[in-house]
């Protein structure tokens, strides 16, 4: 499979780009992979930054890569699932700041 050309990427939704970016990493998301958290973090960071901005993206990325492997696989398989997890993490951060 060859990488998509820039014109094709431009016409894709963020969700389509996300699924394309994460699909190749999902098989490596296992407890036995010592580099899993780093790989997942690098893969999802730009999408999280797009959702919450550059200030909160590092913290929320860190929160999401600490989740159990099955949850990581779930949010890597769907942009909607990522959006839900990002919202949960963001809400948690806001609650922590208030409390």
pLDDT, tens digit (0-9, with 9 covering 90-100), for 14-73:
999 999 999 989 999 999 999 999 999 999 999 999 999 999 999 999 999 999 999 999
**pLDDT for residue 1 is more than 60:** no
Residue 29 confidence (pLDDT): 94
User: pTM of the entire structure?
Assistant: 0.88
Q: Can you give the residue ranges of every domain in the chain?
A: 44-99
Q: Which positions ≥6 away from 64 have C-beta within 8 Å?
A: 40, 44, 48, 72, 75, 85, 86, 89
Which position has the higher pLDDT, 11 or 17? 17
Q: Which CATH number fits domain 44-99: 3.30.420, 1.10.405, 3.30.160, 1.10.1900?
A: 1.10.1900
CA gap 15, 18 in Å, rounded: 5
């Amino acid at each position: 499979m060859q990488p998509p050309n820039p014109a094709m990427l431009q016409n894709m939704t963020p969700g389509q780009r996300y699924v394309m970016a994460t699909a190749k990493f999902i098989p490596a998301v296992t407890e036995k992979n010592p580099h899993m958290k780093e790989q997942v973090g690098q893969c999802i960071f730009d999408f999280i930054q797009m959702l919450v901005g550059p200030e909160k993206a590092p913290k929320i990325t860190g929160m999401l890569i600490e989740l159990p492997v099955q949850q990581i696989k779930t949010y890597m398989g769907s942009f909607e699932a990522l959006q839900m997890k990002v919202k949960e993490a963001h809400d948690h951060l806001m609650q922590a700041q208030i409390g």
